[in-house]
Amino acid sequence: MWFRRDLRCNDNTALHQALRQCERVYVAFVFDRAILDPLPRQDRRVGFIHASVLALDRDLRALSPTPGVNLIVRHAHAEGAIADLAFQLGVDAVFANEDYEPEACARDERVRSALSSLGVAFHLHKDQVVFAPNEIRTQQGKPYSVFTPFKNAWLARLTEEDLEPRTAADHAASLAAPPPALQRPIPSLAEMGFEPPADEVQRLLPGSDGATQRLRDFLGRIDRYDALRDYPALKGPSYLSVHLRFGTISIRELVAAAQAAARTGAGTGATTWLSELVWREFYFQILGMYPHVVDHSFKPEYDRITWETGAEADAAFDAWCQGQTGYPLVDAGMRQLNQTGYLHNRLRMVTASFLVKNLGIDWRRGERYFAARLNDYDLAANNGGWQWCASTGCDAQPWFRIFNPVTQSERFDPEGRFIRRYVPEIAQLPNTSIHAPWKAKPVDLAAADVRLGIDYPAPIVAHEAARERTLARYAAVRGRQ
Ligand code: FAD
């Protein structure tokens, strides 16, 4: 059994199937150098994965009645490492869970062919999603490109059987200890060339225990999800995305928990949250069925947009990355991302929209920046979110709708609590001017000890003028193929 983005024993389809079908099952994980080598040495996600792998090893040892069982861990190129292990262990088959990202699919095809030349079968199972990208189709047999009908079809198809937990405990006796020649300690982060995690990562609570703790905490407040989820200063969302990303909790368990909460009176909070889980599957479907979205607009006409480029655009992009645009809510969001690796959903929308529709910069640059920084980075959701904000995607925000960063700030952070947390240099401004410090009375600026352009930037772009430029930019390509 080869673990990848499914770092748990509990309710893991490939593990369940391997244990059920095979007399002896070795368990393995590879820190894939093809993925890790290009990453910065401080990457928070590697710390999270490492801690989750240690937890998985502990959980597997506790699950097995046989002494000596442990997770075989390698730091190597996954394709070669899996084929080598399969050969050395003399196995008949390798089990894993499906991954839908194009690069992962290509890797799996190469692994399949390497294993096949050794006479070893490769079994992939659906686990990351309730319904795989090709399972929900319109009556004409096509993939959906609008969310609501997709969600309705998804809910109509859902049965109890789809959510049945795939337990490991019943067949845990099949777990086998690797032979002594293959026993090696799990490499430390330092041995793999990475720095130990910063404080924020420790607060991420790795492994299945961390995910369970997060879920328990969220279920205690799921009834308020709908009311609170748009306010970044409040504890509204579940903070489970990093766990879904690395599979320390199963999607089936979360859908079942949302349904149970809805039944027991958590009402719109639980049903809205369930919709968010369906959005996740919607974007898996889009990526799986329309892989051109990886580097092209879903709607081809928008590939013709002329984006801002050159030194001025580069400087604006840098200011956006650093949280130095002069728009406090945008800056607070980007600093949250840089400091913690998490970014509240409302602020993902506000910051992405600002980059594309205020600064006129290609959404793909922003998408790549998020990809490098988000702990929960997931190609399907990130690409879908960016194309939604840029109005280039399916079922996206209409092209002429342009978030006003000041109005968003007044609406979703009315008392400036979130801004004050991440933009301390303007924390002393009163609520009336914290959303747009350039409009503050000189007396307020003086009282708060803020010199615009020195302590905190003046806005790098004027919203109204940017809005006009964006409307023209989009109008120029509308209807052209
Ligand atoms: P909750 O509100 O508790 O939602 C629960 C789960 O539902 C999330 O963990 C996630 O798996 C799923 N979900 C919620 N909203 C969405 C959505 N709009 N699209 C797809 N799935 C969703 N989500 C990622 O997991 N990885 C990303 O790389 C990512 N990039 C994004 C980029 C942009 C520009 C935007 C607008 C959204 C992006 N999202 C991404 C979606 C969403 O912002 C995050 O899933 C959410 O903020 C994670 O926090 P949470 O777990 O507390 O969310």
Residues 86 and 94 sit within 8 Å (Cβ to Cβ) = yes
For residues 121-141, one letter each, b for 16 or more C-beta atoms within 10 angstroms of the residue's C-beta and e for the rest, the string is ebebbebbbbbbbeebeeeee
Bridge partners (DSSP) of residue 125 are 97
Q: Kindly state the tokens that stand for 124.
A: 């992939």
Residues 57 and 45 sit within 8 Å (Cβ to Cβ) = no
Bridge partners (DSSP) of residue 97 are 125
What's the distance, CA 185 to chain centroid? 30
Catalytic option among 253, 276, 301, 308: 276
Distance CA(392)–CA(352), nearest Å, equals 13
pLDDT of residue 316: 98
pLDDT of residue 192: 97
pTM, two decimal places: 0.97
Over its length of 481 residues, how does the chain's per-residue pLDDT go in tens digits? Answer: 999 999 999 999 999 999 999 999 999 999 999 999 999 999 999 999 999 999 999 999 999 999 999 999 999 999 999 999 999 999 999 999 999 999 999 999 999 999 999 999 999 999 999 999 999 999 999 999 999 999 999 999 999 999 999 999 999 999 999 999 999 999 999 999 999 877 665 678 899 999 999 999 999 999 999 999 999 999 999 999 999 999 999 999 999 999 999 998 777 999 999 999 999 999 999 999 999 999 999 999 999 999 999 999 999 999 999 999 999 999 999 999 999 999 999 999 999 999 999 999 999 999 999 999 999 999 999 999 999 999 999 988 889 899 999 999 999 999 999 999 999 999 999 999 999 999 999 999 999 999 999 999 999 999 999 999 999 999 999 866 4
For residues 41-63, one letter each, b for 16 or more C-beta atoms within 10 angstroms of the residue's C-beta and e for the rest, the string is eebbbbbbbbbbbbbbbbbbbeb
Residues 32 and 46 sit within 8 Å (Cβ to Cβ) = no
Q: Is 10 a catalytic residue?
A: no
CATH 1.25.40.80 in the chain is located at: 129-166+208-289
* Helix spans in 37-132 (H): 44-63, 78-89, 102-117
Instruction: Name the residue of 280, 387, 394, 408 to mutate for ligand 1: max ligand atoms within 8 A of Cβ.
Output: 280
pLDDT of residue 480: 60
What's the distance, CA 444 to chain centroid? 40
Q: Could you say which DSSP state residue 175 is in?
A: B
Reference 120, options 43, 32, 41, 22; nearest CA is 22
Cα-based distances in Å from 272 to 172, 237, 279, 282, 436: 37, 11, 11, 15, 32
Q: Which fold, 300-475? A: DNA Cyclobutane Dipyrimidine Photolyase, subunit A; domain 3 (1.10.579)
Distance CA(48)–CA(232), nearest Å, equals 23
Cα-based distances in Å from 384 to 158, 215, 276, 378, 410: 23, 25, 13, 10, 26
3-state secondary structure of 195: coil
> Rounded to the nearest 5°, which phi and psi values hold at 218?
-70, -40
Q: Which residues are annotated as a binding site?
A: 225, 273, 276-283, 376-378
E strand or H helix at 30, and its extent?
strand 28-32
What's the distance, CA 85 to chain centroid? 30
Bridge partners (DSSP) of residue 95 are 123
Residues 2 and 96 sit within 8 Å (Cβ to Cβ) = yes
* Residue type at 363 in one-letter notation: W
Residues 242 and 381 sit within 8 Å (Cβ to Cβ) = no
CA of 237 to the centre of ligand 1 (A): 10
Give the CATH number of domain 129-166+208-289; options: 3.40.50.300, 1.25.40.80, 2.30.33.40, 2.20.25.10.
Answer: 1.25.40.80
pLDDT of residue 427: 98
Q: Kindly state the tokens that stand for 337.
A: 């991302």
Q: Which residues are annotated as a binding site for FAD?
A: 225, 273, 276-283, 376-378
State the closest ligand 1 atom to the C-alpha of 374, by its place in the atom list counted from 1: 28
pLDDT of residue 94: 98
CA of 275 to the centre of ligand 1 (A): 11
**Starting at the edge strand that comes first in sequence, how are the strands of the sheet with 2-3 ordered?**
2-3, 28-32, 72-76
Give the CATH number of domain 1-128; options: 3.40.50.1980, 3.40.50.620, 2.60.40.10, 3.20.20.80.
Answer: 3.40.50.620
Residues 187 and 275 sit within 8 Å (Cβ to Cβ) = no
3-state secondary structure of 66: coil
* Helix spans in 158-195 (H): 160-163
Catalytic option among 101, 135, 301, 307: 307
For residues 260-299, one letter each, b for 16 or more C-beta atoms within 10 angstroms of the residue's C-beta and e for the rest, the string is ebbeeebeebbbbbbbbbbbbbbbbbbbbebeebeeebbb
The percent helix, strand, coil of the chain (3-state, each to 5) is 55, 5, 40
ipTM greater than 0.90, yes or no?
yes
* Helix spans in 290-449 (H): 311-322, 328-340, 345-353, 363-373, 379-389, 405-412, 417-422, 431-434, 442-447
Take atom 15 of ligand 1 and give the residue whose Cα is closest: 276
Residues with a CB atom less than 6 Å from ligand 1: 229, 237-241, 244-245, 276-277, 279-280, 283, 345, 348-349, 352, 370, 374, 376-378, 381-382, 384-386, 389
